[in-house]
Amino acid sequence: MRASGVALVASSGVGAAVFLWPFFGGGQPGAAPAAAFGIGTAAALAAVEAVAGRLDSRRLALLAALAALDAAARAVVVTGIGGFSPIFLLILCGGYVYGAEYGFLLGATTILVSALVTGGLGPWLPYQLFAAGWVGAVAGLAGRGRRGRPTRRDVVVLAAAGVVLGYGYGVVMDVWNWTYFQQSPGLGFHPGMAVATALGHFARYYVVTSLVYDSFRAVGNAVMVALLGAPVLAALARLRARLEADTGPAAVAASSASAMGGGTPP
């Protein structure tokens, strides 16, 4: 496994620890430490990608531009329709074209920028950061190995991934919400619960509070990808091809020759 893959697994491990912290009897982690873990983890992954040469200045600029566009879309439709939000289209497409590590960074950066734009700073932020990062990472795994011009199959695969990840994002975020919900003896979380009891309570809690809400997100993701996925994927694929051409061996050789006064290679 390459270094960035190890870094992504380690980043996901940190995120899982933040979500599961209450299950180890430690109560909810403080908002400031959780935020520090979330932002610090994303920054560390970005540093690994930069050192490995997979996040140069142009890819970083593209990451910032995509996050800004997504934050603007979320600012226009902050509440969405049910759980639907336009924020997931670029996260899905960006991860699918540029890979799991880039997808994680795009999801996390988008949530952070969006929170700053909309004033959505709160204890939920680090959890949303990891959850959106995982959406981008899984989209990247779904598109692993694809090259060239996006096809109808790519759109179908990404739309299906959007449905699964729409529910997945909601389930992951509900783990955090549920640990605050202790009023109901049949639905709530209580430290020290048996695993089977906890799973039963959480399943009932999710069906009662979130299943319909998350269905709007899942269906909305599929609809967005079906309607806009092809042109967005094509644009991102063209950018990727240009970036790879500009940083490939031939481009590096030409740049070196020019710097040494050798002119254009024959």
Burial 99-121 (b: 16+ CB within 10 A, else e): bbbbbbbbbbbbbbbbbeeeebe
Write down how long the chain is: 266
Distance CA 260, CA 258 (A): 5
Q: How confident is the model at residue 259 (pLDDT cuts 50, 70, 90)?
A: very low
pTM for the whole structure: 0.88
Which pLDDT tens digit goes with each residue over 217-253? 999 999 999 999 999 999 999 999 998 887 654 443 3
Q: For 149-176, what is each residue's pLDDT tens digit?
A: 889 999 999 999 999 999 999 999 999 9
With a cut of 80, say whether residue 203 has pLDDT above it: yes
Query: CA-based diameter of the chain, in Å?
Result: 78
User: What is the SS3 assignment for 64?
Assistant: helix
**Residue 184 pLDDT more than 80?**
no
Q: Which long-range contacts (CB under 8 A, 24 or more apart) does 153-158 make?
A: 154/96, 154/229, 154/233, 155/225, 155/226, 155/229, 155/230, 155/233, 158/92, 158/93, 158/96, 158/225, 158/229, 158/233
Q: Please, what is the end-to-end C-alpha distance for the chain in angstroms?
A: 38
